[in-house]
Chains A and B, each alone.
Chain A
């Protein structure tokens, strides 16, 4: 089944404790992207990647890192999480930049 998977789906952590949210797609898509969803603010793009080893900042990259070592994986890394990074995170992929396929979302709480 063609899909985008994210892990974990839910995470409660504490300020400063490094964490990684994984994203994997099995559709051989070149384009992958991370978004955060906050009430009243809509989906905001954090980082995106056009292909392996090619990443670029979106609108709200501060406090996040990404890597694209393989085509199928695009992990989101929070080196030192803070409470303002409490959010709902979505990973998405696309064969070009049409029809984004979204993952199920990761709800992160930073205490």
Chain B
């Protein structure tokens, strides 16, 4: 089992604050890094899939960067809104893992008005 680490474990911000969290992973045999958003009582939903070192992806106020050489990815949320409250998961796919996707434990974000 791989060590996909996410930090912080939880985060509480005020509406309008910008925030970011980290996903760290072993850099060897990297294939792809996924980000998912998981709201309470719902199913995880895909945000980004990143494959190339230096990749940057953006969807509205949410963006992500990837550094495969040092083994980390950042997720940024600009101007957080209460509806951004969710758990954000990252997951690693390695080229030698037979397509076994390994998830981190997630960062739980709470945005209060």
**Taking CB as reference atom, which chain A residue is nearest B49?**
A98
Give A104 to B32 CA distance when docked, in angstroms.
24
Give A51 to B46 CA distance when docked, in angstroms.
21
As a 0/1 sequence over residues 90 to 102 of chain A, the CB contacts with chain B under 8 angstroms (1 = contact) are 1000000111111
Query: Which of A48, A102, A104 gathers most chain B CB within 10 Å?
Result: A102
User: In the assembled complex, which residues on chain B have CB atoms less than 8 Å from the CB atom of A105?
Assistant: 43
**Taking CB as reference atom, which chain B residue is nearest A90?**
B43
Give A104 to B41 CA distance when docked, in angstroms.
9
The B interface, classified by DSSP as helix, strand, loop or mixed, is strand
A66 contacts B by Cβ under 8 Å: no
Inter-chain contact B103/A40, CB cutoff 8 Å: no
A21 contacts B by Cβ under 8 Å: no
A44 contacts B by Cβ under 8 Å: yes
The A interface, classified by DSSP as helix, strand, loop or mixed, is strand
User: In the assembled complex, which residues on chain B have CB atoms less than 8 Å from the CB atom of A50?
Assistant: 99
Query: Which of B44, B102, B106 gathers most chain A CB within 10 Å?
Result: B44
**Taking CB as reference atom, which chain A residue is nearest B51?**
A98
Inter-chain contact B89/A42, CB cutoff 8 Å: yes
Of residues 59 through 113 on chain B, the ones whose CB sits less than 8 Å from some CB of chain A are: 89, 91, 93, 98-106
User: In the assembled complex, which residues on chain B have CB atoms less than 8 Å from the CB atom of A48?
Assistant: 99-101
Of residues 17 through 68 on chain B, the ones whose CB sits less than 8 Å from some CB of chain A are: 32, 34, 36, 43-46, 49
**Taking CB as reference atom, which chain B residue is nearest A43?**
B103
User: In the assembled complex, which residues on chain B have CB atoms less than 8 Å from the CB atom of A90?
Assistant: 43-44
A53 contacts B by Cβ under 8 Å: no
Inter-chain contact A40/B45, CB cutoff 8 Å: no
Q: Name 8 A/B residue pairs within 8 A (Cβ), A-sorted.
A: A42-B106, A43-B103, A45-B101, A45-B103, A50-B99, A58-B100, A90-B44, A100-B34
Interface residues of B (CB under 8 A from A): 1, 32, 34, 36, 43-46, 49, 89, 91, 93, 98-106
